[in-house]
Structure 1
Amino acid sequence: MQEIVENRAVAFKTRKGPNEIIAEKLDLDSCFTDDEIVIKVHAAALNPVDLLVKAYAYSWIAGCEPKTLSRDYSGVIVRRGKNIKEFDIGDKVVGSFDHLFGKEGSLSNYLTLDPKKHPSITKMPSFGDSEYDDFVLNAAWPLVFGTAYMGLGLLDKSQNLGPDSRILVIGASTSVSNALVQIAKNHLKVKSVVGICSKSSFERNKELGFDHLVAYDEEVVTDGVKKLIDTEFNGGKFDLIFDSVGNSDFIPKIDDFLKPISENSYYRTIVGDAKLKYTSPNLLKTFKPSETFRRFGPFKKYNYRNYLLIPSNTFMVLGAEMIAKKQFVPTIDSVFTFEDHTDAFNRLVSNKAKGKIVVKIA
């Protein structure tokens, strides 16, 4: 007997059009192949990349068909193909579903995927006692944890950070930076992690693990960081500068802050050299043309990476292990119902969220 369900999803048709709930009938017994699983989604998290994708959804690129939003998800497997060995029906899972202008996204009741093609998935760990349920907390971490994991050079093994390392984080209050400091301190045992944030965020960021904080609203940040180098670190510079907000203050004086390229130091960013307006982005303004030769020429002056998340099971496994060991907890800004998705996206656009915005679906 066929089981027909209604699959609702938050989607948009055009880049300027509204996000709206669409629905279609789904036959749970025929909607998957032998290599796929069907997940009943319980919660999904919003990410700025959703705004970026929509902003670039020009009709000549993406068409005018409905395009479902979101990537992070947590849920329960309700169907599996005969070739699936690592998961069973009833398993609680968490992951990040990589897609671009697709009909499927995680902001929907059901998600069908091939775990080999979408490897950022693992069985869902438990957080224990919390004001939020496990589905909400698990939906909040895959994309930001994976992005932080890459930012530390763990996926491509480009750096070997450890107890003798120092890291500077520009944008300490972002969700990615929250994940990065917890991985750095609790997994890699990094000696010193310095964060830049507002003075009002000091207490919260100290609790996450930052050793030193510099307030961008109280002093010139380059002066504050240089003071730390001279007084706290005896002149020792950083092995990694990680930027999650879009900043170029340190670039003109990079040699004062970053160790020499010969010591395999890195400057990594997920946004470029300037703050990106996600609803109307201009990528040309996020890069400094004058730096191109210093970064990529034959005599480059420092290692520079601007990157996006690469799907991988590796960071999902580590994330689940750290959660089980109480070494990592994602920060939650707010939780919305499926019907209140408009309010959730308004909160994301406000750029005031301190942590992840999660939508409860099931």
Structure 2
Amino acid sequence: MALPTTTREYRLPKTDGIHNLTLTEAALPPLKSSEVLVKVHAVSLQYRDIVVAKGLYPLGMKDNVVPGSDLAGEIIAVGTEVHGWSVGDRVCSNFCTDHIYGNTTEEIKLTALGAPIDGVLTEYKVLPAHALVKIPSHLNYEEASTLPFVSCIFDFGNNRKASLSHRCAAVTAYNALMGPIPLKAGDTVLVQGTGGVSIFGLQFAVASGATVIATSSSDRKLEVAAGLGAKHLINYNKTPDWEQEVMKITDGRGVDHVIEVGGPGTMLKSVQCTRFAGCINDIGFVAGAGDVNSLPGLILGRAVIFRGILIGSRTQFEDMNRLIVENGLKPVIDKVFAFEDTLAAYQYLESQQHVGKVVVRVSKD
């Protein structure tokens, strides 16, 4: 079968809103010896995609960019020097194509798909072979597309909140819980909300034998968390002093790990319900502004480890997939849209009515 020479792809000729998403056709670049050509089957969206479309992404983006960073697809051609990959292999790409192992660098950040370089909302994508990760066999393409994403919310003022995602929600949660102080059976984990990172953190914690406390403003979303194994549920609208409730649940000890997505608006409460020398994994700023003047003293007083999470490597992605396979974990998908309905998918994501991930099905076969 002849290889495609063109691809339909979305671009953003302007960046003042998601309405600028434009479906167009482009020639595929020639395949280099170290690259592969991937037929894109599915792309999962993240709030970073909305931020990029609105021109609010602060880490740099090219003009007329192809958005999207999280794909699952099938290799249909390999370069002459590619080893370990074959036509027909099912793959994801790491968020930053050049982040293979270790800590991130400024150079690595410039290889982030869907902003500094063209992304994956396209029918076919040329990728460096070193960026690829094998899809777990029990996941379909839509499910696998959710594996590359991290969501961080930044408050730009004037009630405009924008979310910056630097990597896979799953890898972010894995990095948080399996980092310098790895989660272990018997630990207690506090998960804030039911977004992509929090849901994956909940699943990984339960799979590792930990007890999960989940917070949300919605009883409906808390029911989802309970179905995934959360043992304790707190509606923070009904229980505004939720940090005190967490301390009651843990008999005054506090939790071992916090998936902190609230930012300044929740950090003080998180510290107050973390055990001495526990770990707060700072991922987002969804709760907006807050008074954090006393935060340094609280962190010192409880000897808390406060860790920022940024960009996961391909090797972490591979380690995470082994945990997913061993426990048969399945990502939570809220809704799947057709490629031609990508704008509707963006609109649904922007509405924040979803629980779990929003996915675009690119290929029809």
TM-score (norm 1): 0.80
Is the counterpart of residue 73 in structure 1 residue 84 in structure 2?
A: no
Is the counterpart of residue 178 in structure 1 residue 199 in structure 2?
A: yes
Hey, what does 2:343 align to over in structure 1?
342
Hey, what does 1:32 align to over in structure 2?
31
SS of equivalent residue, structure 1 residue 259: strand
Task: Confirm or deny: 8 A CA contact 2:266 2:287 kept in the other structure.
Answer: no
Task: Confirm or deny: 8 A CA contact 2:174 2:320 kept in the other structure.
Answer: no
Q: How does 1:295-306 map to 2 (within 5 A)?
A: 302-306=304-308
**Cα distance change on mapping 1:270 and 1:253 into 2, 3 Å:** closer
Q: How does 1:110-125 map to 2 (within 5 A)?
A: 110-116=124-130, 118=131, 121-125=132-136
Hey, what does 1:271 align to over in structure 2?
284
Is the counterpart of residue 258 in structure 1 residue 251 in structure 2?
A: no
Identify which of 163, 176, 179 aligns with 1:151: 176
**Cα distance change on mapping 1:57 and 1:226 into 2, 3 Å:** closer
Hey, what does 1:141 align to over in structure 2?
147
Hey, what does 1:226 align to over in structure 2?
244
Task: Confirm or deny: 8 A CA contact 2:283 2:309 kept in the other structure.
Answer: yes
Per-residue deviation, 1:96: 3.5
Q: Could you tell me the percent identity over the aligned residues?
A: 23
Hey, what does 1:280 align to over in structure 2?
none
**Cα distance change on mapping 1:253 and 1:76 into 2, 3 Å:** closer
SS of equivalent residue, structure 1 residue 290: coil
Task: Confirm or deny: 8 A CA contact 2:188 2:256 kept in the other structure.
Answer: yes
Unaligned regions of 5+ residues in structure 1, if any? 129-133, 276-284
**Cα distance change on mapping 1:217 and 1:200 into 2, 3 Å:** farther
Task: Confirm or deny: 8 A CA contact 2:173 2:198 kept in the other structure.
Answer: yes
Per-residue deviation, 1:103: 5.1
Per-residue deviation, 1:181: 1.3
Return the letter of the residue paired with 1:176.
Answer: V
Task: Confirm or deny: 8 A CA contact 1:122 1:317 kept in the other structure.
Answer: no
SS of equivalent residue, structure 1 residue 180: helix
Question: Which segment drifts farther, 70-79 or 234-243?
Answer: 234-243
Unaligned regions of 5+ residues in structure 2, if any? 97-111, 149-167
SS of equivalent residue, structure 1 residue 339: helix
Return the letter of the residue paired with 1:306.
Answer: G
CA RMSD of aligned residues (A): 2.9
Aligned length: 325
TM-score (norm 2): 0.79
Task: Confirm or deny: 8 A CA contact 1:195 1:214 kept in the other structure.
Answer: yes
The separation in 2 between residues aligned to 1:5 and 1:47, in whole angstroms, is: 29
The separation in 1 between residues aligned to 2:14 and 2:4, in whole angstroms, is: 29
The separation in 1 between residues aligned to 2:31 and 2:261, in whole angstroms, is: 37
SS of equivalent residue, structure 1 residue 314: helix
**Cα distance change on mapping 1:312 and 1:296 into 2, 3 Å:** farther
Per-residue deviation, 1:245: 4.2
Per-residue deviation, 1:250: 5.3
SS of equivalent residue, structure 2 residue 250: coil
Per-residue deviation, 1:72: 1.0
The separation in 2 between residues aligned to 1:23 and 1:215, in whole angstroms, is: 47
SS of equivalent residue, structure 2 residue 5: strand
